[in-house]
Amino acid sequence: MSRIVYVNGEYVAEEQAKISVFDRGFLFADGVYEVSSVLQGKLIDNQGHLTRLKRSLSELAMEAPVTDDQIQQIQTALIEKNNLQEGLVYLQITRGAADRDFAYPAGVKPSLVMFTQSKNVIDNPQALTGISVITTADIRWQRRDIKTTGLLAPCMAKMLAKSAGADDAWMIEDGFITEGSSNNAYIIKADGTLVTRQLGTEILAGITRKAVLKLAAEESIRIEERPFSVEEAHNAAEAFISSATAFVMPVTSIDGKKIADGKPGKLTRKLREIYIQTALKSIM
């Protein structure tokens, strides 16, 4: 069955959805996006995603075509129209359609496109085994704090991982891991300290990252927000990633090297569990 998607004010079957060939999202990746997860038909941490969306837009001097409340209404309508129980709502705002020119056009209405994807987020089988990652050079641009649709570099990293038989890639800059292809990266040291890169233009400020760090602090886990090296990652006691659609996902091998005994770590499993419980509580 085909999905109902939202395009610039209209709910249409996905086959009917149309966007201009002059849309700057298509020509320049001149657009930003957000992904909010859905559990039991309800949005998780959506306010955080809308706040980050505003920041991405403002960094690119782009206007939202609708208010936050309207975005939320559309998200909810799509969940209902598609009878989505678990998965995600994707939303993308592009600068709109104008004759091709590098300079931002004046007076053009931005485009808003939204759709749902169904996915087992809680009962993801990978959470039981953990995922494998490889490391590769971070060849992305230098404003990774802006959530733009210009995602070819992470697509290439993901394909490199796939061709190496791994699930994902952690990207390296100057010897230190920045983040995963579409997630934030963490290690846990033998003494139980959680290490993840500090916020800055080098990484995306994950909404899940913020929630995970808060929960970790509440569990009295020591946190170090700093760059960590590939070698430190290889020798970590535990490793994991976070994102809106992976939640907390164990990493059990890096560059073909097992992390500890090659099974999801204890603190990682605990953080995943607490994250899910907290998310479920937030929608009750």
DSSP-derived 3-state class of residue 50: helix
Question: Which CB atom, from 48 or from 264, has the smaller least distance to ligand PMP?
Answer: 48
Question: Which CB atom, from 75 or from 182, has the smaller least distance to ligand PMP?
Answer: 182
Residue positions counted in the chain: 284
Interacting positions 240-259 with ligand PMP (CB under 6 A): 242-244
Q: Which residue type occupies 157?
A: A
Interacting positions 20-39 with ligand PMP (CB under 6 A): 35
Segments in the chain forming alpha helices (H): 24-28, 46-59, 68-81, 126-129, 152-163, 207-218, 230-234, 266-282
Nearest distance from C-beta of residue 183 to ligand PMP, angstroms: 5
| Among residues 30, 138, 167, 179, the one that binds ligand PMP under rule CB under 6 A | 179
Nearest distance from C-beta of residue 157 to ligand PMP, angstroms: 10
Number of residues that bind ligand PMP (CB under 6 A): 13
Q: How far is CA 143 from the centre of its chain?
A: 15
Tell the burial category of 50 from Cβ atoms under 10 Å away from its Cβ (0-12, 13-18, 19+): buried
Question: Which CB atom, from 98 or from 204, has the smaller least distance to ligand PMP?
Answer: 204
Nearest distance from C-beta of residue 209 to ligand PMP, angstroms: 6
What element of type H or E holds 130?
none
Interacting positions 103-142 with ligand PMP (CB under 6 A): none
∠ CA 224-226-228, nearest 5°, is 105
Interacting positions 197-216 with ligand PMP (CB under 6 A): 204, 206-209
By the criterion CB under 6 A, which residues form the site for ligand PMP?
35, 179, 182-184, 204, 206-209, 242-244
